Structure 1
Amino acid sequence: MTTPLLSLTWTDSITGHQGFLVIDRLVRGVCSGGLRMREGCTLDEVTGLARGMSMKEALHYDPEGRYVPLGGAKGGIDCDPRDPAAYGLLVRYLRAVRPYLESVWATGEDLGLSQDLVDRAAAEAGLVSCVQSVYPLLDDEEAARRRLADAFAVRVDGIGLDALVGGCGVAEAALTALDRVGVPYAGTRVAVQGFGTMGGATARFLARAGLTVVAVADLKGTIANPAGLDVEALLAARDSYGLVDRAALRPGDRELPGEEWLSVAAEVLVPAAVSYAVDTVNQERITARWIVEAANMPVLPEAEAVLAARGVTVLPDVVVNSGTNAWWWWTLFGDIGPDAREAFAHTRRAMRALTGQMLSRAEADGSSPRVAAHAIAADRHPVIEERYGQYR
């Protein structure tokens, strides 16, 4: 593993909470990666996430596209986002790292933070935009900024397009894996951990494809129904933190303890919340055939090795949840317009192609999908550096 280009720890003088920024690699002097806020966030966690972002950017490299892949980075703040002091802490963190945001780091929402909140805090911290470091790479900055703003204003069935494209990508990765082995969608059961932006959208797209969502876990516990949950009703009953109002449950829906999402009878398991959710102990409870990593780093490496020996395939985060980041840049650089139909079609094509390539590489090499994805990214980094200059 390479050493990150930059790694810093910031301590808030008012609350004592810590924030982190890791820049793993630059391409044309710029890097990309979201900002998360969660209690217990660590520098090691942010370092791993930044490395993953470098891979995600490389994996979506298209020499014919207008989108220029960036380097990888990540930000993190160790604080419960529901803490009353969280917003002020966020603003102070953004002020502290403002020089990086103005020149090299483009960021956006991640675990614990919504894009609206990041945008509001960025403005209060004196920033033009949380992606302003990318503006010098654009052919027409004004048109690009307007295109991205228009895309964020698009709503589909009452939900913002930006909150849906990532889940669309996760669903397509899962569906591609099912298609390769001829598993029909009807009768295939899904359990989802986390019902926020990514988990909720993934559940919606999988349900609409014909799969049966049998369990959804939030911070209150697990909601399960072996006959299938009403995903749309649950989406309508969740709050901004992904918590579902239990008053919306139907007679056949059951409330179970939080970790029961692991052992619910399902073929597809979608961890879409925190990192390190699956370890060497609780992996024993999993009966699913596929784990689809909608969250970043939800399966510990040691657990993945044991799961592989048991015949459980893990589709890795660097591919599965990369659709949101790619959609930002496809839109800003002008590969797609601010249109939901175009965004979903482009996301589906890209995610199916990338997932298929990863699975074919894994099969040919006799490796895991994660090793195959990392190998594809490693092949592309020198190509990107040759075209755009060598920046770590």
Structure 2
Amino acid sequence: MAVDILNPYEVAVAQFDEAAEMLGLSQAMRAILRKPKRELIVNFPVRMDNGDVQMFTGYRVQHNINRGPAKGGIRFSPDVSLDEVRALAMWMTWKCAVVGIPFGGAKGGVVCDPHKLSRNELERLTRRYATEISILIGPNSDIPAPDMNTNPQIMAWIMDTYSMHRGYSVPEVVTGKPLSIGGSEGRLEATARGVQVVTCEALLSLGMQVEGARVVIQGFGNVGGNSARLLQSLGCKIVGLSDISGGVYNPNGIDVMRALRYSQEHGGLRGLPDSEQVTNQELLELPCDVLIPAALENQLTAQNASRVKARLIVEAANGPTTPEADRIFQDRGITVVPDILANAGGVTVSYFEWVQDLQRFFWSEDEINQRLERIMVRSFQAVQDRAERQRTSLRMGAYLLAVARVAEATEARGIYP
């Protein structure tokens, strides 16, 4: 089956343009907000374990910093491209604005397959990349975080590298670190907890019950796995799951904790007992109430949108729905909670971590989760109110809210000199 191959940056700009038109932004404001502020491309050598030297390419893009320091993850993947990083940086700008966090948007990445690198090679690559982008990152300028194929250990290496350059520890230069060096309670499952909160809010707004709601989740990593666990704890019935090895389906429900153990023991979900094997594409079209894409961009397209059976889609991944699919879902009356709202729990708790590091005073996990829930509920309600007032989708409601906030900050600051 053919799959839409879309440039993610073109998608991000098209989404912005639609919001800018509805907001009536000036030509000058549109020109400013369409373009990233800074783009850094670095090519650097890494000595491999066998003594060979390999060259790697990395990126760091800052989209907009008018509301605060740049904030955004770093991903290690063979598929990283400059346009992907540009799109993710722009989405981060809107994500921070939609939940009211005083950050701008950034993103970074290295073109590599971390699964083919030894731990020592991965550390050398990370430290060299951190050194190359150290001209941009800093606790008051640009604060990286984990993303695809990066984790607390990689953040620890970045924090240590930056600190070695400064001559003293700077824990607030990255978020998503281990607790032992200034990480925050609740950070690892923060994105999933945000997904849980907005899923419940959206179900209730549609007059649907949380308990017994049938949920399908594409992706079983940190976000997908924790989302499944947290939603099941509220009484949702997880009927479909998938990872890179394929998907599994059981209309009577899957025991998520058992699936997590099985995945760890067997390297994937394939072969999970008491479940039917399905492909990743078939998974998206399973009968369910809620579909949560928690994997990659461009998963819901013009090719499969008409066969999606969910009443509610919650975008735990960044950019999983193409604009054509979005229009089909609108026509079919399917509600989509957009990525810039649905997965903003991660950056919200990253903000908490940064604040705690700056003041050297830390909160309990209960405090973190309560603060996160308040922000996610408030943000969902604000987006829903905006969408209803403008008679538009939740995605456009979120964009109208976020773009207006960034435009207001940009207008207030003016153009230097």
TM-score under structure 2 length normalisation = 0.79
**What is the match of residue 4 of structure 1?**
36
Are the aligned partners of 1:111 and 1:274 in contact in 2 as well (CA < 8 Å)?
Answer: no
Do residues 39 (structure 1) and 71 (structure 2) align?
A: no
Asked if 1 retains the 8 angstrom alpha-carbon contact of 2:126 and 2:154, the reply is no
Q: Which amino acid aligns with 2:61?
A: V
Q: 1:346/1:149 Cα in 2 relative to 1: closer, same or farther (>3 Å)?
A: farther
Contact preservation (8 Å) 1:190, 1:270: yes
Task: Give the secondary-structure state (helix, strand or coil) at the position aligned to 2:114.
Answer: coil
Residue deviations 1:125-157 (CA, integer Å, cap 9, x gap)? 6465574289xxxxxxxxxx99995654x4xxx
1:170 to 192, 195, 213: 195
Say whether 1:197 aligns with 2:219.
Answer: no
Alignment partner of 1:91 is 2:147: no
Q: What's 1:140 paired with?
A: none
Q: Does 1:118 align with 2:159?
A: no
8 Å CA contact retained: 2:215, 2:240: yes
2:321 paired with 1:299: yes
Residues 1:146 and 1:254: Cα distance change in structure 2 (over 3 Å): closer
The CA deviation at 1:307 is 2.1
Quote the residue 1:65 is aligned against. none
Q: What letter corresponds to residue 160 of structure 2 in structure 1? A: A
CA distance in 2, matches of 1:12, 1:324: 29
TM-score by length of 1: 0.84
Alignment partner, residue 137 of structure 1: none
Among 271, 281, 289, which residue is 1:259 paired with? 281
Corresponding residue of 1:52: 91
Give the aligned residue type for 1:8. L
For residues 91-138 of structure 1, give each alpha carbon's deviation from its aligned partner in whole angstroms, at most 9, with x where no partner exists: 32222111211362101101111122232244246465574289xxxx
2: CA distance between counterparts of 1:342 and 1:371? 31
CA contact (8 A) 2:155 2:174 kept: no
Q: SS of 1:192's equivalent?
A: strand
- Of 244, 257, 268, the residue aligned with 2:268 is 244
Among all aligned residue pairs of Structure 1 and Structure 2, give the percentage whose two residues are the same amino acid. Answer: 28
More deviation, 39-48/81-90: 81-90
1:371 aligned partner, one-letter code:
M
User: Is the 2:299–2:321 contact (alpha carbons within 8 Å) kept by the matching residues of 1?
Assistant: yes
1:82 is aligned to: 115
Task: Kindly state the Cα deviation for residue 11 of structure 1 after the two structures are TM-superposed.
Answer: 2.6
How far residue 196 of structure 1 moved from its aligned partner, in angstroms, is 1.0
Shift of 1:173: 0.7
SS in 2 for 1:277: coil
Which sits farther off after the overlay, 94-103 or 352-361?
94-103
2:57 is aligned to 18
The amino acid of 1:5's aligned partner reads: K
Contact 2:239 2:253 in 1 (8 A): yes
**Helix, strand or coil at the partner of 1:34:** strand
In structure 2, runs of 5+ residues without a counterpart are 1-12, 14-33, 46-52
Separation in 1, partners of 2:160, 2:90: 28
Quote the RMSD (CA, aligned, Å).
Answer: 2.9
- SS at 1:24's partner residue? strand
Amino acid at match of 1:244: G
Question: What is residue 357 of structure 1 aligned with on the other side?
Answer: 382
Q: Distance in 2 between matches of 1:279 and 1:15?
A: 37
In structure 2, C-alpha distance between the alignment counterparts of 1:215 and 1:354, rounded to whole Å: 28
Partner of 2:137: 101
CA distance in 1, matches of 2:351, 2:90: 19
CA contact (8 A) 1:26 1:391 kept: no
CA distance in 1, matches of 2:190, 2:414: 31
One-letter code aligned to 1:172: V
Aligned to 1:368: 393
Letter in 1 for 2:80: C
The Cα of 1:72 is off from its aligned counterpart by 1.0
User: CA, structure 1 residues 215+284, in 2 after alignment: closer, same or farther (shift >3 Å)?
Assistant: same
Corresponding position: 1:272 with 2:294 = yes
Cα distance in 2, alignment partners of residues 384 and 147 from structure 1: 34
Partner of 1:323: 345
Letter of the 1:73 counterpart: A
Q: Return the offset for 1:333.
A: 2.1
Q: Which stretch of the first structure deviates more once superposed, 360-369 or 170-179?
A: 360-369
Aligned length: 365
Q: Deviations over 1:320-365 (max 9, x none)?
A: 1111111121243259953222222221221111112212211221
Please name the residue that 1:73 is paired with.
106
Q: 1:347 to 1:390 in 2, by over 3 A?
A: farther
Contact 2:88-2:107 within 8 A present in 1 as well: yes
Further displaced range: 378-387 or 197-206: 378-387
Q: CA deviation at 1:257?
A: 2.2
Shift of 1:89: 3.0
Q: Which moved more, 1:91-100 or 1:121-130?
A: 121-130
Please report how far the alpha carbon of residue 383 of structure 1 lies from its aligned counterpart in structure 2 after TM superposition: 4.9
Q: Distance in 2 between matches of 1:360 and 1:177?
A: 13
> Which deviates more from structure 2 when the two are superposed, residues 203-212 or residues 374-383?
374-383
2: CA distance, partners of 1:391 / 1:291: 39
- The amino acid of 1:97's aligned partner reads I
Give the SS at the match of 2:116. Answer: coil
